[in-house]
Amino acid sequence: MKQSLTLGKVTKFIGIAGLLETIKDLFTGNLDKEDFKNFLRKVIMPLASVFLFFAVWYFGAKSLHDIEADRLIKKALVEQGPAEAEKVRACIESGEKTCQPNSLPSPAQVWGAYQTLLADHYVIRADKKAFIEKTAVLNAKRVANGEAAIVYTGRPSFVDQIFTSIITVFAGFLLALFIAVPIGIIIGLSETLRSSVNWLIQIFKPVSPVVWFLLVFMIVKTFAKNSDADSAFIICFISVGLCSMWATLVNTAMGVSSVDKDYINVAKVLKLGPMQKIFKVILPSSLPLIFTGLRITLSVAWMVLIAIELLAQSPGLGSFVWEEFQNGANDSNSKIIAAMFVIGIIGFMLDRIMLTIQKMVSFNKNDGI
Partner 1 sequence: MAYLELKNIYKTYGEGETATEVLSNINLTIEEGEFVAIVGFTGSGKTTLVNLINGLLMPTSGEVLFKGESVVDTSHERGVIFQNYSLLPWLTVGQNIFMAVKEAFPKKTRKELHDIVEEFVAMVNLSHAINKRPKELSGGMRQRVAVARALAMKPEMIIMDEPLGALDALTRGNLQDEILNIWGKDKHTALLITNDVDEGIYMADRIIPLRPGPNATLGPEFKIDIDRPRDKTELNDNPNFKKTRNAIIEYLMEIGNERKSEVQKEYLLPDLTPKSFVWL
**Where on the chain is the footprint of partner 1 (CB under 8 A)?**
262-263, 265-266, 268-272, 276, 280-281, 284-285, 287, 363-364
Smallest gap from Cβ 269 to partner 1, in A, equals 5
Q: Which CB sits closer to partner 1, 94 or 364?
A: 364
Smallest gap from Cβ 106 to partner 1, in A, equals 53
Q: Which CB sits closer to partner 1, 127 or 367?
A: 367
Dihedral angle over CA of 59, 62, 68, 73, nearest 10: -130
| 54 secondary structure, DSSP code | H
Report which secondary-structure segment, H or E, holds 235.
helix 231-257
Smallest gap from Cβ 361 to partner 1, in A, equals 9
Q: Which CB sits closer to partner 1, 270 or 329?
A: 270
Q: Which CB sits closer to partner 1, 97 or 365?
A: 365
Q: Are 318 and 307 in contact (CB under 8 A)?
A: yes
Q: Burial code of 282-317, b = ≥16 C-beta within 10 A, e = fewer?
A: bbebbbbbbbbbbbbbbbbbbbbbbbbbbbbebbbb
Smallest gap from Cβ 12 to partner 1, in A, equals 22
Listed in sequence order, the residues at least 6 apart from 35 whose beta carbon sits closer than 8 Å to its beta carbon are 22, 25
Smallest gap from Cβ 366 to partner 1, in A, equals 10
Smallest gap from Cβ 280 to partner 1, in A, equals 7
- Residue 200 burial (10 A CB sphere; 0-12, 13-18, 19+): exposed
Please state, in angstroms and rounded to a whole number, the distance separating the CA atoms of residues 346 and 169.
11
Q: Which CB sits closer to partner 1, 221 or 268?
A: 268
Helices 158-189 + 317-327 axis angle, to 10: 130
Smallest gap from Cβ 365 to partner 1, in A, equals 8
Q: Which CB sits closer to partner 1, 97 or 271?
A: 271
Q: How far from 66 is each of 46, 89, 92, CA to CA, in Å?
A: 30, 11, 10
Q: Which CB sits closer to partner 1, 72 or 294?
A: 294
